C-alpha cells in the first residue's frame, strides 16, 4: 500500500511531531523515575545511558541511511519510530528494562536521518533548506508544548496516565506511517529483492572523520565544532535532571524552562542570526555565539539560585546561533563538489559528541559527588527545601562542575575559531574517496555519495 496521496513534506512533519510530542510528555516522569531507579549515582547512570544511546546512533546512522537508499524510506521510518518509542510503556512496567531498552534503542534512534532523506527525495535542491527548516521547527514546536502538558497531567492525574497517553500517541505515529505515509523513493530506483548490495563506504560512520586532517581550514572548523558541541551534548543529556534534583525546580518549572528556551532559540536562529550575519559577518557571528556559550556554561556552573538558571537560559538561546553560522561558513567557502564531504565531517564529529558528551558529564558529576542521597522533599513553590538539602550535603563553591569544564572547552574552541579565515576556498582531497564510493554504490541509489550525507547534516541543526 502506497499511503494517502503523493509523498510530501507534511507526511514527514507529522511523523516527527507525533514521535517527539510523545517523548516530550515524559520529560517530568522520566526525571523522577531516573532518580528513583538510581538514587546514589543518578547523574553517572544518566550519562552512561545517554552516552551508549548516542554512540550507537552514531555508528548506525550511516548504515540505516545507506540501506534506505536501496530499500526505500517507509520501512525504515516504521523501524526507527517503533524502536525509538518502544521504551515508553516500560516506564511503569519495569524502570530497569525501560532504561536498558533506551540504551539499546540508540541503534535505531535515527528517525531524523530517514526523515530528511525522505524530504530530499521529494524536493528540489532550492526547496530543500526551507523543507528542512519546517521539519526542524516542527520538532521544536512539539517540545515547546509537550513537557508542560505532561507535567500538568502528571500533577493532576498521576504519571501513569501520562505514560498511557504517550504510548497511545506513539502507536498513532506507527499507524500513521503504516496507513498514510507513501513511499518517497521511486519504484524504479529500488531493486527487485531485499538482497541487493549497498555501498559500505557510505555505511562507515568513520569515513568522513578520516578526512578531517587533509585541509588545515577544515581541521580548524572541525576542532571548533568538537570542542563546542561536546559540552553542549552533555548539557542536553543532564541539564533538566540537574534543574529538577539539584536546583529544586518543580516539574512545571522545568516544563516552562523548556518552553521559554525553545521559543527564544527559534527567535535567535531566525531573526537574530540573519541580522548578525548581515551586520558583523559570518566568522564574527560564530565567535559571538561561542562567547554566549561560554557565558551561559559558566553561569550554570557557578549559579546556585533558580533565577540564575533562568537568566543563563536566555543566554543559552543566543548561543544556539553558533552551529547554523558554522554550517553557513562551510557552505559559502567550500566548492560545490566538496559540500557533502565537508558537511559530512561536521556531522560525524557532532554524532561522536552525542555519545561522548553525556558520558563525560555523568563521570564529572560522579567525581565531584554531585548527587542526592534521598528523594526530594515535598515541593514548595520556590523549591527551597531541595536546594537547602543539597547545600547542606555538598557545601561546594561550584554547584555544577561539568558546566564549568564545558566553559573551558568552549573557550578553547573560541581560540581555535579565531584562526579560521572568513573567505577561503576549502580543498578536501576527496577525489579518490569519491571515485571509490562511485565504484561501489548501487546503481539504484538516487543520490551521489557526497549528496547522500546532506540530509544527515540537517539532523544536527535541531
**Per-residue confidence (pLDDT) for residue 187, from 0 to 100:** 61
User: Would you state the pLDDT for residue 238?
Assistant: 81
With 50 as the cut, is the pLDDT of residue 136 above it? yes
Which of the listed ranges 12-16, 270-274, 421-425, 431-435 does the model predict with the highest average pLDDT? 12-16
Q: What is the pLDDT of residue 427?
A: 59
Residue 330's pLDDT is what? Answer: 74
Whether residue 457 has pLDDT greater than 60: no
Which range (12-26, 76-90, 201-215) has the least confidence? Answer: 201-215
Measured CA to CA, the distance from residue 176 to residue 78 in angstroms comes to 9
Whether 223 contacts 32, CB under 8 Å? no
* Stretch 217-235: mean pLDDT: 88
- What pLDDT score does 82 carry? 93
Helix (H) or strand (E) holding 34: helix 27-37
* pLDDT tens digits along 299-325: 888 887 888 888 888 888 888 888 778
User: Between residues 341 and 34, which one has the greater pLDDT?
Assistant: 34
What is the rounded CA–CA span in Å between residue 118 and residue 197?
20
- What is the DSSP code (8-state) at residue 424? -
Q: How large is the average pLDDT for residues 191-219?
A: 68
On the question of pLDDT at 237 being above 90, the answer is no
Give the largest Cα separation in the chain, rounded: 68
Average pLDDT over residues 270-279: 84
Mean pLDDT across the chain: 77
Instruction: Please give the average per-residue pLDDT across 345-362, as a whole number.
Output: 82
Judge whether residue 240 has pLDDT over 80: yes
CA distance to 66, 105, 202, 440, per residue, from 436 (Å):
15, 32, 10, 7
User: Residues 81, 113: contact at Cβ < 8 Å?
Assistant: no
What integer is the mean pLDDT of 194-210?
Answer: 66
Q: Stretch 186-214: mean pLDDT, rounded?
A: 64
Other beta carbons less than 10 A from residue 281's beta carbon: 15
For 215, the 3-state DSSP assignment is coil
Say yes or no to pLDDT of 169 above 70.
Answer: yes
Determine the average pLDDT of the residues in 7-18: 88
Alpha-carbon distance 100 to 78, whole Å? 21
Q: Is the pLDDT of residue 132 over 60?
A: yes
Domains of the chain, CATH where assigned: 1-185 (1.20.1250.20), 211-371+400-421 (1.20.1250.20)
d(CA 172, CA 166): 10
Instruction: Select the more confidently predicted residue: 142 or 130.
Output: 142
CB neighbour list of residue 319: distance below 8 Å, 6 or more residues apart: 289, 290, 292, 293, 295, 296
Least confident of 54-58, 193-197, 242-246, 275-279: 193-197
Q: Is the model's pLDDT at 426 over the cut of 70? A: no
25 within 8 A of 220, measured Cβ to Cβ: no
pLDDT at res. 161: 92
Query: What whole-number distance in Å separates Cα of residue 226 and Cα of residue 355?
Result: 12
pLDDT tens by residue, 26-76: 888 888 888 888 887 888 888 888 888 888 888 887 788 778 777 778 888
pLDDT of residue 395: 42
Angstrom CA distances, 62 to 323, 342, 453, 454, stand at: 21, 15, 8, 11
> What is the rounded CA–CA span in Å between residue 240 and residue 255?
9
Q: Is 426 helix (H, G, I), strand (E, B) or coil?
A: strand
Mean pLDDT of 175-179: 91
What average pLDDT does the segment 268-277 reach? 82
What is the rounded CA–CA span in Å between residue 29 and residue 26?
5
pLDDT in tens, 80-119: 899 989 999 998 888 888 898 888 888 887 887 788 788 8
Please indicate whether residue 425 or residue 136 has the higher confidence score (pLDDT).
Answer: 136
Looking at per-residue pLDDT, the higher value among 238 and 160 belongs to 160
Angle at 188 between CA 192 and CA 81, to 5 degrees: 75
**pLDDT surpasses 80 at 271:** yes
Set of cell numbers at residue 127: 526547496
Bigger pLDDT: 342 vs 140? 140
| End-to-end Cα distance, the chain | 32
pLDDT at 202: 66
Specify the length of the chain in residues: 462
The C-alpha cell of 407 is what?
566553559
Amino acid at each position: 500500500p502506497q499511503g494517502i496521496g503523493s509523498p510530501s513534506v507534511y507526511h514527514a512533519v507529522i511523523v516527527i511531531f507525533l514521535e517527539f510530542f510523545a517523548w516530550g510528555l515524559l520529560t517530568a516522569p522520566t526525571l523522577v523515575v531516573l532518580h528513583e531507579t538510581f538514587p546514589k549515582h543518578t547523574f553517572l547512570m544518566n550519562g552512561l545511558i545517554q552516552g551508549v544511546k548516542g554512540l550507537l546512533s552514531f555508528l548506525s546512522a550511516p548504515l540505516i541511511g545507506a540501506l534506505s537508499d536501496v530499500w526505500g524510506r517507509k520501512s525504515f521510518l516504521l523501524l526507527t519510530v517503533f524502536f525509538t518509542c518502544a521504551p515508553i510503556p516500560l516506564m511503569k512496567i519495569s524502570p530497569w528494562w525501560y532504561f536498558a531498552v533506551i540504551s539499546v534503542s540508540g541503534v535505531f534512534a535515527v528517525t531524523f536521518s530517514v526523515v530528511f532523506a525522505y524530504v530530499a527525495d521529494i524536493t528540489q535542491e532550492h526547496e530543500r533548506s526551507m523543507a528542512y527548516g519546517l521539519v526542524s521547527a516542527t520538532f521544536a514546536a512539539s517540545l515547546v508544548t509537550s513537557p508542560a502538558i505532561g507535567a500538568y497531567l502528571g500533577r493532576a492525574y498521576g504519571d501513569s496516565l501520562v505514560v498511557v497517553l504517550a504510548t497511545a500517541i506513539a502507536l498513532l505515529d506507527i499507524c500513521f506511517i503504516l496507513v498514510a505515509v507513501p513511499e518517497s523513493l521511486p519504484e524504479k530506483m529500488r531493486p527487485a529483492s531485499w538482497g541487493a548490495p549497498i555501498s559500505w563506504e557510505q555505511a562507515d560512520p568513520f569515513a568522513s572523520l578520516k578526512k578531517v586532517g587533509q585541509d588545515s581550514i577544515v581541521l580548524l572548523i572541525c576542532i571548533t565544532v568538537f570542542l563546542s558541541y561536546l559540552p553542549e551534548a552533555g548539557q542536553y543529556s543532564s541539564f533538566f535532571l540537574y534543574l529538577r534534583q539539584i536546583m529544586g525546580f518543580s516539574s512545571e518549572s522545568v516544563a516552562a524552562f523548556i518552553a521559554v528556551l525553545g521559543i527564544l532559540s527559534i527567535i535567535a536562529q531566525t531573526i537574530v542570526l540573519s541580522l548578525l550575519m548581515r551586520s558583523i559577518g559570518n566568522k564574527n557571528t560564530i565567535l559571538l555565539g561561542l562567547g554566549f556559550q561560554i557565558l551561559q556554561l559558566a553561569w550554570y556552573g557557578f549559579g546556585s539560585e533558580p533565577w540564575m538558571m533562568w537568566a543563563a537560559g536566555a543566554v543559552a538561546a543566543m548561543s544556539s546561533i553558533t552551529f547554523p553560522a558554522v554550517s553557513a561558513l562551510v557552505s559559502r567557502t567550500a566548492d560545490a563538489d566538496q559540500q557533502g564531504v565537508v558537511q559530512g565531517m561536521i556531522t560525524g564529529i557532532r554524532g561522536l559528541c552525542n555519545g561522548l558528551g553525556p558520558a563525560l558529564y555523568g563521570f564529572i558529576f560522579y567525581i565531584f559527588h554531585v548527587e542526592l542521597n534521598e528523594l526530594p522533599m515535598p515541593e514548595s513553590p520556590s523549591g527551597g527545601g531541595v536546594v537547602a538539602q543539597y547545600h547542606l550535603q555538598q557545601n561546594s563553591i561550584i554547584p555544577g562542575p561539568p558546566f564549568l569544564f564545558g566553559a573551558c572547552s568552549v573557550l578553547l574552541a573560541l581560540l581555535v575559531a579565531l584562526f579560521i579565515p572568513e573567505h577561503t576556498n576549502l580543498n578536501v582531497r576527496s577525489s579518490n574517496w569519491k571515485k571509490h564510493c562511485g565504484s561501489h554504490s548501487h546503481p539504484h541509489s538516487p543520490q551521489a555519495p557526497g549528496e547522500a550525507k546532506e540530509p544527515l547534516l540537517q539532523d544536527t541543526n535541531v
